[in-house]
């Protein structure tokens, strides 16, 4: 009697659930005041492959200082990216999220305000090595301040480095 053949017990191609951290320099152009704000952004990603895309949950913290306003925010974002190009080194992405921010108006009658912050970003990661990437982003944020009609909108650019932690991977089948 012939023995039945068994297929592979594991898929040949797998992609890993990943964990990464990033830090960026930030230049923001708020619509309050005429000067730009300079600062930093840092955060992390927990990424899971989903068909041809990678989905990430991304907390991020930003702090920018300027002559007219200072802003600090914490956001919870959802990020979608896709790798392409030679050796899949290019990763364009889109990010949307919401969070909490504090804005400090500078000047003789400076005051603070808490805000609901919504954020939309688009950008590109370029892999330098397996663990390091350059990251560039264009961001738009909407700050809903205290009164019913007041809001501050700003846009800016972030440039930084991403580090993917190599020791934390769980294998999942590639669709």
| pLDDT reported for residue 57 | 95
Please give the model's pTM, rounded to 2 decimal places.
0.81
SS3 label, residue 86: helix
pLDDT band, residue 130 (cuts 50/70/90): confident
Mean pLDDT, residues 138-159: 84
| pLDDT reported for residue 122 | 96
SS3 label, residue 76: strand
Domain range annotation of the chain: 14-173
Structure-token match 């932690």, residue found: 165
> Which residue would you say has higher pLDDT here, 150 or 149?
150
Cα three-residue angle 20-134-100, rounded to 5 degrees: 55
**Overall fold of domain 14-173:** Porin (2.40.160)
> Which residue would you say has higher pLDDT here, 173 or 121?
121
Distances (CA, A) of 52 to 40, 151, 174: 31, 37, 9
Residue-wise pLDDT for 28-48, tens only, equals: 998 776 678 899 999 999 988
What secondary structure, in 3-state letters, does 16-74 show? EEEEEEEEEEEEEEECCCCCCEEEEEEEEEEEEEECCEEEEEEEEEEEEECCCEEEEEE
């Amino acid at each position: 009697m012939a023995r039945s053949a068994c297929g592979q017990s594991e898929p040949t191609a797998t992609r890993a659930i990943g964990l990464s951290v990033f830090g960026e320099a930030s230049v923001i152009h708020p619509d309050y005041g005429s000067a730009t704000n300079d600062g930093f952004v840092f955060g992390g990603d927990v990424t899971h492959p989903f068909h041809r895309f990678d989905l990430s949950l991304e907390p991020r913290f930003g702090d920018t200082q300027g002559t007219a306003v200072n802003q600090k925010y914490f956001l919870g974002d959802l990020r979608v990216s896709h790798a392409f190009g030679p050796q899949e080194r290019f990763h364009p992405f889109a990010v949307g999220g919401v969070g909490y921010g504090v804005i400090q108006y500078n000047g003789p009658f400076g005051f603070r305000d808490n805000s609901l912050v919504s954020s939309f970003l688009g950008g590109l990661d370029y892999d330098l090595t397996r663990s390091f990437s350059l990251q560039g982003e264009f961001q738009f944020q909407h700050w809903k301040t205290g009164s019913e009609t007041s809001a501050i909108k700003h846009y800016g650019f972030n440039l930084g480095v991403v580090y993917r932690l190599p020791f934390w991977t769980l294998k999942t089948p590639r669709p």
